[in-house]
Structure 1
Amino acid sequence: MASPPESRPPRSQGHHPPQDHSHVHIHDPESQKRLLNRLSRIEGHIRGIKTMVEENRACPEVLVQVAAVRGALDKVARIILDEHLTECVARAANAGDIEMELAELKAALDQFL
């Protein structure tokens, strides 16, 4: 009797395993708190859009709300990128680790853009 094939959980599209960082990203706790608050508001906004769809609200109304969420996510991305450039890249440059940091940033931007 043949043994069953190994089952692996399917990888979701867009999911990438964490990279093996030889350096640590340390973020200001207050900044992290602000980002988490923004993301919580976005999460609530998305639940609101889901409710709109469930209630068969007019498509233009839903699209306006989707655009608002996209804008809010773009703002979060800009904040993260700004912090990364001013904190993480600067720290890597001071530590003499700039090439790896820039390579990671370029790879992330390739996926983001």
Structure 2
Amino acid sequence: MSHSQEHRTDSLVKRLNRIEGQVAGIKKMILEEKEYADVIIQLNSTRSAIQKISHILLEAQTEHALMHVSEGADLDEEMKKLQKVIAQYNKMN
């Protein structure tokens, strides 16, 4: 694993840990019967954090595909992989 990949993985895990905390907080808010508007604000914040992770992964897949093609990998195969990731990304938005 390259240094940049390790850094990216650490960053993603930290983001996921924060999301876990947000979800736990949302659960607590619901159990404590907090105002629905406040719960929805937290849900939107969590959704935004998840979308950011998806964006980071989409960028990583793009970089990965370009690097592999420049190293001689099959362009069509890399494009299929990238298109699959883009399709999944678009389902979130």
Correspondence 1:54 to 2:31: yes
Normalising by structure 1, we get a TM-score of 0.69
Taking structure 2 as the reference length, the TM-score comes to 0.82
- Structure 2 residue 65 is the aligned partner of structure 1 residue 89: yes
Among the aligned pairs, what percent are the same residue?
26
RMSD: 1.9
Structure 2 residue 34 is the aligned partner of structure 1 residue 28: no
C-alpha offsets along residues 52-99 of structure 1, whole Å, 9 cap, x if unaligned? 11111111000000000011111111111112212x112221222221
What is the one-letter code of the residue matched to 1:99? D
Is the partner of 1:89 in helix, strand or coil? helix
Highest RCO, 1 vs 2 (Cα 8 Å, sep ≥ 6): 2
CA distance in 2, matches of 1:110, 1:81: 10
Higher helix share: 2
Equivalences, count: 88
**Runs of 4+ more than 4 Å apart:** none
* Structure 1: tracts of 5 or more residues without a match: 1-24
- Tell me which structure has the larger Cα radius of gyration: 1
Match of 1:108 in 2: 85
